[in-house]
Amino acid sequence: MRNFMLKLAAARGEIEADLLIRNARVINVLSGEIHQEDVAIMDGRFLGFGDYDAKEEMDVEGLYMAPGFIDGHIHFESTMLTLPEFARAVLRCGGTSVVIDPHEMANVLGLDGIRYVLHSISQIPLDVFVMLPSCVPATPLETSGSSITHRELNYMINEDRVAGIGEMMNFPAVIQGDEEVHDRIRVTKWKKVDGHAPGVTGKDLNAYIFSNIDSDHESTSAKEALEKLRKGMHILIREGTSERNLEELISIVNTDNSWHFSFATDDKHPDDLLEEGHIDHCIRKAIALGMAPMTAYQIASINAANHHRLRNVGAVKPRFWADFVLLSDYKAVSIESVFKRGIKVFDDNRLVHFPESQPPSVRSSMNPAHVTLQDFKIPAQGTSIRVIDILPHQVVTQEHITLAHIRDGYVESDLGKDILKIVVIERHKATGRIGKGFVRGFGLKHGAIGSTVAHDAHNIVIVGTNDEDMYAAFKRIKTLQGGFVAMDRGELVAELPLPVAGLLSDQSFEDTAQNLKMLKEKVKTLGGTHEAPFMILSFLCLSPIPRLKVTDLGLIDVDQFDVVPLFTE
């Protein structure tokens, strides 16, 4: 109480503030205007606007002061960085708060994965708000490393850093009234439940929203987003590595409805964070596409804070944490400095005052059964097969029916049609299950690539032109205890080890980004045509996303929500 009274006296101007920022042009996301102000700070909080006495003064000479940027939804694991390294990557881009769904760690390690996250965020200068994973496993159509019921969610929902329940991916179960799924939703009480409803429309969407879910980040068309907006959903405009929906969705944003939108990256690779940016990139791109700058800054800050009920962040306002970005050009989002709770953490193009921290260790997560070369073969049981069709810049896929390429009684990759074999090997419980299929659109002409990042259960996924290189990729991944590999003619082309749960690197942000960039370039030498081949590969296992996917149980028709045979006749 005494500490509060001291700050209250400072806000009245009766005692010195810690810091006075002079001559800032405040981007006021509350009033919707830019105005010149002196801004006082004490004990990490904004005291107010005005001419205050302070222990330290900083004349910013007309730089723009924006509230720190907020990512409304991200799986930090997709950056492949530990949380301290993730914080370093985000802070340099003006991000001071993130809403994360540690769905990937939970699918691999269960509650231990969530505890790992909560322990890690206590050590870093970044506000991390956790949405507890709601779907572990994501669906019954894959084998994950763990499971979480409403009882475990209820156990953790009252944690200070927990903002609610993460994206409810099993939308068919929500719509049909599955009791366990609705028990998970009810756990939240007053906190939020994030949505995940790709392509859900009409009365099914009504039922989904009626279940107390009021956000969505899966809209890929303006028409889809507009229906959700009209029915009261908060729309998270996603701009990640492979899913880029911003250009399509901003056409429905206007001054009357913009408060119902936030920015989200969802899944972003480290090299894109390094070269392109984070939420600063979303602001920059939105403005370039014609969005009013003030609207873009509101979407990047106060909107996400209000929607997720995040306390004391999202604006330059008395009592709020002094999280802000100083910009030389607010339309180009040219960042000069970043402050977190009144302390400068980024300046002169480098991080400063970043504390050393050591993330906790985790148990081994690589437990596949014995696999042989023969296990990769697919005996011909018909003449026509289902093929997963990749769509550009989307996580959704299509189903393509074509004649199988058969040799010596086995179905093989058909390079002339860009149709490659894909396998998913269960890695958590040594079940020996292997799902097999074919995919069109990777472009590989030789070799194979493999990964332990395979949404959402994160089994081992491998795509390739021949069984020998696919088998070699499996063996190398097992040796690494998780990661990305590219093989050609039995030789290792490049790799990125991910020893933490098979998801995260133990290297620095910069080294991880550089290694991934080099790996992507090596995949191009195999004929790969995608800028983010490992991101695309990971999403081919995503059983809640239409239309045709593959898991360790086999080919999944998401519309039927069931396993379907590879052969059609």
135-176 residue pLDDT tens: 999 888 999 999 999 999 999 999 989 999 999 988 989 999
The CA-CA-CA angle for residues 272, 274, 275, to 5°, reads 65
Burial group, residue 227, by CB count within 10 angstroms (0-12, 13-18, 19+): middle
Q: Can you give the residue ranges of every domain in the chain?
A: 2-62, 67-314, 373-564
Per-residue confidence (pLDDT) for residue 176, from 0 to 100:
95
User: Would the CA dihedral through 5, 10, 16, 18 be positive or negative?
Assistant: positive
Distances (CA, A) of 439 to 226, 424, 445: 32, 13, 14
Task: Locate 190 and state its tokens.
Answer: 């007053």
The single-letter code of the amino acid at 239 is: E
Question: How many of the other CB atoms lie within 10 Å of CB of 5?
Answer: 9
Distance, in Å, from the CA atom of 554 to the CA atom of 435, rounded to the nearest integer, reads 4
Distance, in Å, from the CA atom of 423 to the CA atom of 518, rounded to the nearest integer, reads 24
Question: How many of the other CB atoms lie within 10 Å of CB of 431?
Answer: 15
Q: Which CATH architecture has domain 2-62?
A: Roll (2.30)
- DSSP code, position 528: -
User: Cβ(168)–Cβ(181) under 8 Å?
Assistant: yes
Task: Locate 251 and state its tokens.
Answer: 């056409």
Per-residue confidence (pLDDT) for residue 165, from 0 to 100:
97
Where does the pLDDT of residue 1 fall: very low under 50, low under 70, confident under 90, or very high at 90 and above? low
Tens of pLDDT, residue by residue over 391-418, are 887 788 999 999 999 999 999 999 999 9
What is the radius of gyration, based on Cα positions, of the chain?
A: 24
pTM greater than 0.85: yes
Respond yes or no on whether the N-terminal peptide bond of residue 456 is cis (omega within 30° of 0): yes
Tens of pLDDT, residue by residue over 333-355, are 999 999 999 999 999 888 887 77
Kind plus residue range of the DSSP H or E element containing 226: helix 222-230
- The residue-averaged pLDDT of 514-543 equals 94
Tens of pLDDT, residue by residue over 296-314, are 999 999 999 999 999 999 9
Q: Is 225 helix (H, G, I), strand (E, B) or coil?
A: helix
Tens of pLDDT, residue by residue over 91-113, are 999 999 999 999 999 999 999 99
Closest CA to 166 of 102, 222, 121: 102
Residue appearing with tokens 């909107």: 303
User: What residues contact residue 172 under an 8 Å CB cut-off, 6+ apart?
Assistant: 561
Distance, in Å, from the CA atom of 502 to the CA atom of 531, rounded to the nearest integer, reads 22
Per-residue confidence (pLDDT) for residue 341, from 0 to 100:
96
Residue appearing with tokens 């039927």: 560
User: Is pLDDT above 70 for 454?
Assistant: yes
Distance, in Å, from the CA atom of 213 to the CA atom of 305, rounded to the nearest integer, reads 17
Q: Which CATH architecture has domain 67-314?
A: Alpha-Beta Barrel (3.20)
User: Cβ(240)–Cβ(268) under 8 Å?
Assistant: yes
Distance, in Å, from the CA atom of 249 to the CA atom of 31, rounded to the nearest integer, reads 25
Q: Is 90 helix (H, G, I), strand (E, B) or coil?
A: helix
Respond yes or no on whether the N-terminal peptide bond of residue 547 is cis (omega within 30° of 0): yes
User: Is pLDDT above 80 for 385?
Assistant: yes
User: Cβ(387)–Cβ(419) under 8 Å?
Assistant: yes
- The residue-averaged pLDDT of 500-517 equals 95
- The residue-averaged pLDDT of 502-531 equals 94
Closest CA to 236 of 208, 210, 266, 206: 266
Tens of pLDDT, residue by residue over 7-48, are 899 899 999 999 999 999 999 999 999 999 999 999 999 999
- DSSP code, position 31: T
User: What residues contact residue 441 under an 8 Å CB cut-off, 6+ apart?
Assistant: 389, 390, 418, 529, 530
Q: Is 181 helix (H, G, I), strand (E, B) or coil?
A: helix
